[in-house]
Amino acid sequence: MKPIKDIFSSHIQGLYKGHEVDAPGSVQEGVFNQLDAINGSNTSGSASGGFTSKAVLGAAVVIVGFAWYLMPVSEDQVVVDEVEVVEELVVEDVKVVEEVAVTDAVYEVEAAPELVVQEVVEENVEISVEEQIIAEEEIENTVVTSDIEDVHPEVVVDPIDEDEILEEAVPTKDVIKTKEVQEVLEWVLPAKLEVDE
């Protein structure tokens, strides 16, 4: 059965192979009219888009022209434009220079305090030393003055008994005692000397 069916189908296919029927002329007209309509719609679409863009461009031109008309003088306007451009350029340069200057200043500021601190320290040292010396001198003077007033009698006493003076600071009472002792000795010595002779 199957081969018969295949023969049946192949026979039918053979009948229709290359089968053509002339199409009426109206079909051809309809096809290309429809294509023209499609192309026309596309063209009109692009044309409408072009019209829109032209309308926008025209409106922009009108606005710019009106603004131009409102400007006082055309030459001033040109000069203003140039000035604006120059100003912009100058501002940019200044910005760059300022940036560089700031960085340098920062470095200097960072280095300067260190140096100043060192110098200040040195000055402080010198000053302190001098002040100390001055103070010592003052102290010596005061001491000397006081000693001179008080010690003059002691200086007179020194040849009398030097060992005792060196061993301990001699108070005035002791000096007085030594004077008394010396007076005693002076009083005693002639007797002894007289005895030795």
Partner 1 sequence: MSVEPDILELIEKCKAGDRRAQFDLYGRFSGLMFAVSLRYTNTKIDAEDVVQNAWVKIFSKLDTFSENNSFEGWMRRIVVNTAITLYRKNKKHANQADISEVLATPADIDASKQCDFTREELENAISRMPEGYGVVFKLYVIDGYKHKEIAEMLDIEVNTSKSQLSRAKKFLQGVLLHMEQVATPRVDDHSNID
Which residue ranges make up the site for partner 1 (CB under 8 A)? 1, 4-5, 7-9, 11-13, 15-16, 18-24, 26-28, 30-32, 34-35, 38-39
Evaluate whether 164 touches 171 at the Cβ level (below 8 Å): no
Place of tokens 């009083």: 187
Q: Which is nearer to partner 1, 20 or 110 (CB)?
A: 20
* Nearest approach, Cβ of residue 46 and partner 1 (Å): 14
Q: Which is nearer to partner 1, 16 or 107 (CB)?
A: 16
Tally of CB atoms within 10 A around 154: 17
* Nearest approach, Cβ of residue 36 and partner 1 (Å): 9
* Nearest approach, Cβ of residue 53 and partner 1 (Å): 23
Q: Which helix (H) or strand (E) holds 63?
A: helix 25-70
Q: Which is nearer to partner 1, 20 or 93 (CB)?
A: 20
* Nearest approach, Cβ of residue 31 and partner 1 (Å): 4
Q: Is 121 helix (H, G, I), strand (E, B) or coil?
A: helix
Q: Which is nearer to partner 1, 21 or 102 (CB)?
A: 21
Evaluate whether 157 touches 183 at the Cβ level (below 8 Å): no
Q: How far apart are CA 137 and CA 139, in angstroms?
A: 5
Q: Which is nearer to partner 1, 9 or 141 (CB)?
A: 9
* Nearest approach, Cβ of residue 45 and partner 1 (Å): 15
**Residues in contact with 158: Cβ distance below 8 Å, sequence separation at least 6, in sequence order:** 165
Q: How far apart are CA 128 and CA 169, in angstroms?
A: 32
